[in-house]
Each structure stands twice: as C-alpha cells, then as structure tokens.
Structure 1
Amino acid sequence: MRSPDGISRAFWAVWIAHALSLFGSMLIQFALVWWIARTTDSATALSVATLLILLPGVLLGPVIGALVDRWDRRGIMLGADGGMAAITLFLILLARADMLHLGPIYAALFLRSILETFHWSALQASIALLVPERYLARIAGLNQALSGALNMVAPPAGALLLGLLPLPGVLLVDVVTAALAMLALGFVRIPYPGGFGPARPVGWQEIREGLEYVRRWSGALILMGMGALINFLVNPAFALLPLLVIRHFRGGALELGALESAWGAGIISGGLLLGAWGGFRRRIHTTLVGLIGMGAAILSLGLLPAGAFPFALGVMFVGGLMNVLTNGPILAILQAVVPPALQGRVLTVVSSVVGLISPLGMAIAGPVADALGVRVWFVAGGLACALAGGIGLGIPSVVQMEEQAPAGVAEP
C-alpha cells in the first residue's frame, strides 16, 4: 500500500525504525567517546576508538553487501538492532560493577560497527524497492535532515544526561530506542529483489559481481579515489573534535555538544533544502559544489583562534549543510542506476573503497596530533575537500557518471 505521495507506507515504518535506532547509536557513541576523552585525555585513544568503528565497514563491507542482497533485509535490521542492544546491556552491567575500562569499550565499538554496517546496507538497499525513482534524491535529503536533527539533539542530550545520570543510565536509552525500532520493523514487509537467491552460501563470485560493476564505472572509480583521500584526512579531524574543544577552545561536554548540534542544524537545513529542491539537474554537480563548500568550512574550523568559539558554531553549521549536498546526491545516483539485486553489494563496495585508507589515517592521527596539534588535521582535510570538488568538476567521466553507469554485471 502507498501513501498519497506515492511512497510506500512500509518505507515510513522503516524510516521511523531507522530514526529510533540512529538516535540511540548517536547517544551512546557520544557518551563513550566523551568517557574516553575525559578519562584518557589521549588523542591516540580516541584514534583507536574511531579506527575500530571504521574497520568493519572497510574490511567486511563487500561480504556484508553480498549477504544483504541474499537475506531478508527486514530480518537483518531486526537482528542488528537486537545485537546492538545486547552489547549495550553488557556495557551497563560492567559499568554498574565498576569494571568498565578501555578494553570492553573498544570491543563494543567494534562489534556495534559490524552490526551498524549490516543495518545501513540493508536500509539503503531497501529504499529503491519502497520509493519511486523520482523521489530518491528527495528521500536522500530527508535522510540527511534526519541525521542532522539527531546530530543536533543527541550530543546535547548526551551531555545533559551525563550530568544528571551515571553512565549506565545514559546507556539504557540505547536499549529502549533499539526495542522501539524493532517494534516498528515488526509490522513491515520489504520485497525481495531477486538476484542470486538465499539458498546457497555466499561465494566469491557473488562478491566479485559487486566489484566488477564498480570496476566498469570509471566516473565512480575516480570519485571513490577522491573520497578515500578525503576520508584519510577528514575522519581523523572529526575523531579528534573532543580534543579540539578541550585543548584549543578550552571547553567541556556542553561546548562539544554545541559544536555537534551546529553541524546537525546545518545537516537539517541542507536536508530540507535538498528535499525541496532536489539539486542541480546533474546530481553530481550538487555533490561537487557541496564538497568545495564543506572543504572551506573544515579549513576555517582549523584556522580559527581559540577565542572564536561562536564563529566555530557558524562554521560547523555551514559544514553540515554542505555535507548533505555532498553525500545525498551520491546515494540517490547509486539507488537510481544500480540494479536492485546488486545494490547491497555495490553500496558496500563503494563504502569499503572510500574508507580503504581511513584506518591508516586513524593509526597516525594520534601521534601526529600530539606532536603538531589537533588543528593540522582540519586544515589538511579542508584543503583536500575543496581541491577534490574543483578537480572533479573538470573531469568528464565524473560529471557524466550517471549516464555512463553500467547496465548490469558483465557475463564471465
């Protein structure tokens, strides 16, 4: 059944479940990252935490994508939410027994990241089955606006709750939101797109189909290479944002929450803008212009003096808005042109390649920041974004990537 706007009602149920799950994940991540920052005051410890969050998507993405294309996507999301809730319950028990330390937190972040990769892949691969093609860019904007709204709400909520409750009480919120998300998903049916069927175990051939599709798409390959370089420089910067607040702006949890909320407010504004406007006729133009703007914002954040915290809030707002214009159209392109039976594999291959060298960035982020300062990562990341966006506008295969997308997988 479809709502009057032509979008399946099942999509809205999935979207509500995703919103609940994402809020819990953002809240717990804020609480754990702040605990690490305050307990250790170590850039290296924060870098290790972010590295553990990144690794599952990079290393396991293609396999997870193949499983998403084979398995029931609703079941994947239900299992992922239930697994994350179980991990959080384990952390609550450790905290109540005063046995919580870096080891269990690192393990929890790593395992939750695996489940979040399953959840994200299943969600994104389901959208094209539930939403008409003409609405994909606007749904991408709506999803970015949701992310921004939660970015704006979750950090201050986490900071407020950390001031009012012990850590176990804050973590319990994630368990509640996961349970509500599972309840919403319980009433949804997601169509099976066909493809290679659920009976056989996943083999290399199925994984290779996703790799082969991307290999034959030259514009996507170039864009993915740019994305990998950008993530190598930008991911460490935002992983070290708590230390930028503590060391440079001389702030605390509320200041960190304010910065993340400003980013979230920008994402909301960008999502609403993209949802209403839809972007330029060539969706890739929206991405590349947004990338230039996001680079300028990140660079500015790295150059601001210590007394300019109010300006940092404005810069984060602009960066969040430009982030939506950068990422939203890319997802819409993939969902519009990639065959539904391949979307789980292609989306995770793209995600894995873009994140391929991010672990190296995170591995060196702590020592570099401790030696040269946290701001060097913001300057380098901002320059990389702006240059990549400008260069991409001059590469025909990138600008025409939507028209040049492969129709399917070549026969072996």
Structure 2
Amino acid sequence: MENNWKNNTVRFLSAQTISLFGSSLVQYAIVWYVTLSTSSGLMLTISTICGFLPQICVSLFAGSWIDKYDRKKLIMLSDSMIACATLFLALLFLSGNKNIWVLFIVLMIRSAGTGLQTPAVNAILPQIVPQENLMKVNGILSTCNSIMMFLSPAISGAILSVFSLEVTLFIDVITAIIGVSITSTVKVKKLIDQLSNEKTMIQNMKEGFSYVKNNKFILNLLIFQMVSMFMISPSAFLTPLMIARRFGDEVWRLTASEMTYSLGMVLGGILITTWGGFKNRLNTTLLAGTLYGVFMISLGASPWFLLYLIFNTCIGLVSPCYNTPITVSIQERVEQNMQGRVFSFMQITTSCMLPLGMMFYGPLADIIPVEVILVVAGILVICSAGIFHFSKALKN
C-alpha cells in the first residue's frame, strides 16, 4: 500500500506538471501574439475577460459535477477539451485563417476547462494520498507548478522568436495527450458517499451553499480569501506599471520581475514541502498573509530596482505558504463528497476578487502613485490577517 499510493501520486503529479507546462506556454504565447499583432489595450482587455469569465461561470456548476461523477475522468475530459480547442486553433492558423476573434473563442474554451480541472485536481488528491501526507504532496505540486511558471515565459519567448504561434499550440496538444495518458493509469479510491443522481444540479448547488453557510470555518475562510485577494491585487497587476514609471520601461525589467516572482514561488514550494507549516494549518496562512503585506509595503518603498526584485522574490516565496495550507485544510476538514463544491467556491472567490480589485485599483493608479497604493494595500493585508488571527475566526 505504501508503494502503491506513492507510485500513483508520482504519476498524477507528473501528468499535471506536463499538462500545465503546455498550457503555460500557450498562455504566454497568446498574450504576446495579441499584444504584438494588435497593439490594442482593448484587445488585451477582451482576452483577459475571456480568460476569467468562463472559468467563473463553469465553477458554479463544476463543484456538483466533481462531487457527482468520476473525478479522474473529469480531469481527463477537461484536459482533452482544452487540447481539442487548441488543435482546432492551430489548424485554422495553419490554413491562413488568423482571425483574432477565433482566438478569443478558444481562450474561453480553455478557461472553461480550467474552471473544471483546477477544483477537480484539489478534490481528487485525498482519494490518492493518505491524509498525513497531504501537506507534503500539495507542497510538491505547488513547487512543480512554480517551476513550470518560472520556465514557461523564457521557453515560450524562445519558441516564438524562432517559430510561429502554431508550433507552440501543437506542443500544448502533445503535452495534453501525454498528461491524459498518464492520468488514465492512476488508481483512485472511489468516494464513499457520492452524490445521488436523483438530485438535480440546482439542488446540489443549493446543498453546497447551505454547507458553506452553516460551516463557520469554511465561511470564515472564504471571507478571509475574498478580502485578501482584493487587497493583494495591486501587487498582481500594477507592478509592471510601477516598474515602467519608476525604474524604466525596458522589457528586461518586466521579464526580471516575472522571473523573480516565479523563482520565489519555487523556493516557497520547497519550503512548505520540507517544513510542513505549523500544526494549525491556518496559522501558517495567517503568518504568510502578514509577511505578504510587509513585502507589498517594501515593494512600494523600494528606491532601487535590485531591492525591488529581492522583495518581489520574497512575495513569491510566501505565496505557496499562504495557499497550500488553505488547500490542505479543506482536504482534511471537508467531507470528500462536498470537496468539489467547496473548492469551486474557492476558485470563484479568487477568479472574481482579483479582477474586481483591478477594476478598483487600476483607475486609481492614474490618480495616485502605484507605490502609495502598494503601501496602503499592504497595511490593509496585515490588518486583515491580524483581525482574523485575534478574532480566532479561522484558528478554531
């Protein structure tokens, strides 16, 4: 049994890492293609909406599907759906039909697939991994994802500089085929209490909302996540603007910012995997949230670009220490037949609050310096973590 779960876990993590690598390459390639071919802020805004909105809409229903049907098959289905959409786009581009609106449609399909796949991956892990190993395995998954996100911009840029967009699209199709093939070999324990087919989708969704409403821990966790995601959105979206205004608009500076953050996430994934965090999972999240706020203030106050990069790496480092304990807490404390819906609610929270934060802070950045916004938002992040810590809303 010891070797069996480890072999299963290695295969599953390998499949997800390979699949994410292809998806990350395409994600960067499409953004850069839209930027270079249109030079339009409107088109970039539309592509961003296409990347977020379907994910939010699908997540509303995805939780019920994940709790009702075979999670492994759903992961394979979402991967295959994304691959088919990407293959269709590649063939269209090869035929000379390079309509930008077709690209947006494919972005929406890919986003919808992500809305199903991400909560399904989080919900299936307790069916593969023993509970005492969930923190370590989630930490390894976070590290693998961070490594892929660190490598993807450089590799995608290198491919695009030599080949066309179609080559990147075909790479994604190939990695998806490999990922699905490996996932098919993973043995997954069946849910003890799977959703009955007698209930309608709406009834299952209502049941999920009722569960969250009556479970104080999950409700407080969702509220904390909403507040935190809204507050940290300036560090996610406005830092390129600050770099251009304060340090210079050279491309290498923006690339260095992306890569130092990803490097920090790799280090943070290794840290949470080896350390495991505090015995109370959410103490780790609250500490990481406090440090995130401190480093946001430091970003805004950095007088030199090198110092900015150091603090940017630190922000990347604390991110896995913030997110991984939340995921493990849900996996440990929520019944398995409810995890799909709870993880979907978490996904909706993240997918909604970051764009909402950008809608608020973006126009504000044309009135107030980004540095000031980062400092004030960082203070609010620290305050929110402190409030939840001393109110014991999450600790108990």
TM-score, normalised via structure 1 length? 0.86
**Identity value in percent:** 28
Measured after TM superposition, the shift of residue 40 of structure 1 is 5.1
Structure 1 residues 363 and 111: CA distance shift in structure 2, 3 A:
farther
The aligned amino acid for 2:340 is: G
Measured after TM superposition, the shift of residue 163 of structure 1 is 2.0
Alignment match of 1:361 (pick from 342, 357, 371): 357
Measured after TM superposition, the shift of residue 246 of structure 1 is 5.4
Alignment match of 2:111 (pick from 113, 116, 120): 113
Measured after TM superposition, the shift of residue 99 of structure 1 is 4.3
**CA distance, structure 2, for counterparts of residue 165 and residue 152 of structure 1:** 21
Residue of structure 2 in register with 1:352 after alignment: 348
Task: Provide the alpha-carbon RMSD of the alignment.
Answer: 2.8
Alignment of 1:79-90 (within 5 A): 79-90=77-88
Alignment of 1:3-152 (within 5 A): 3=3, 7-39=5-37, 45-97=43-95, 99-100=97-98, 102-152=100-150
Alpha carbons 1:225, 1:354 under 8 Å: kept: no
Alignment match of 1:223 (pick from 221, 224, 238): 221
Residue of structure 2 in register with 1:338 after alignment: 334
Measured after TM superposition, the shift of residue 97 of structure 1 is 4.9
Alpha carbons 1:245, 1:252 under 8 Å: kept: no
Residue of structure 1 in register with 2:387 after alignment: 391
Structure 1, unaligned stretches of length 5 or more? 401-412
**CA distance, structure 1, for counterparts of residue 296 and residue 19 of structure 2:** 28
**CA distance, structure 1, for counterparts of residue 295 and residue 332 of structure 2:** 30
Structure 1 residues 270 and 64: CA distance shift in structure 2, 3 A:
same
The aligned amino acid for 1:391 is: I
Structure 1 residues 175 and 281: CA distance shift in structure 2, 3 A:
same
**CA distance, structure 2, for counterparts of residue 353 and residue 154 of structure 1:** 26
Alignment of 1:203-352 (within 5 A): 203-235=201-233, 237-239=235-237, 249-251=247-249, 254-304=252-302, 308-352=304-348
Alpha carbons 2:24, 2:152 under 8 Å: kept: yes
Measured after TM superposition, the shift of residue 256 of structure 1 is 3.5
Measured after TM superposition, the shift of residue 108 of structure 1 is 2.4
Structure 1 residues 255 and 28: CA distance shift in structure 2, 3 A:
farther
Structure 1 residues 257 and 17: CA distance shift in structure 2, 3 A:
farther
Alpha carbons 2:75, 2:121 under 8 Å: kept: yes
Residue of structure 2 in register with 1:404 after alignment: none
The CA deviation string for residues 83-107 of structure 1, in whole angstroms up to 9 with x for no partner, is 1112222332344455445433332
Structure 2, unaligned stretches of length 5 or more? none
The aligned amino acid for 1:337 is: R
Measured after TM superposition, the shift of residue 19 of structure 1 is 0.5
Alpha carbons 2:230, 2:354 under 8 Å: kept: yes
Alpha carbons 2:56, 2:115 under 8 Å: kept: no
The aligned amino acid for 1:352 is: I
- Aligned residue for 1:397, secondary structure, equals coil
Measured after TM superposition, the shift of residue 330 of structure 1 is 0.6
Larger mean Cα displacement after TM superposition, 229-238 or 271-280: 229-238
Measured after TM superposition, the shift of residue 217 of structure 1 is 2.5
Larger mean Cα displacement after TM superposition, 174-183 or 191-200: 191-200
**CA distance, structure 2, for counterparts of residue 38 and residue 134 of structure 1:** 48
Alpha carbons 1:47, 1:363 under 8 Å: kept: no
Structure 1 residues 51 and 241: CA distance shift in structure 2, 3 A:
farther
Measured after TM superposition, the shift of residue 357 of structure 1 is 4.0
Measured after TM superposition, the shift of residue 303 of structure 1 is 4.2
The aligned amino acid for 1:22 is: L
Larger mean Cα displacement after TM superposition, 180-189 or 257-266: 257-266
Alpha carbons 1:195, 1:342 under 8 Å: kept: no
The CA deviation string for residues 80-138 of structure 1, in whole angstroms up to 9 with x for no partner, is 11111122223323444554454333322222111012111221111111111111111
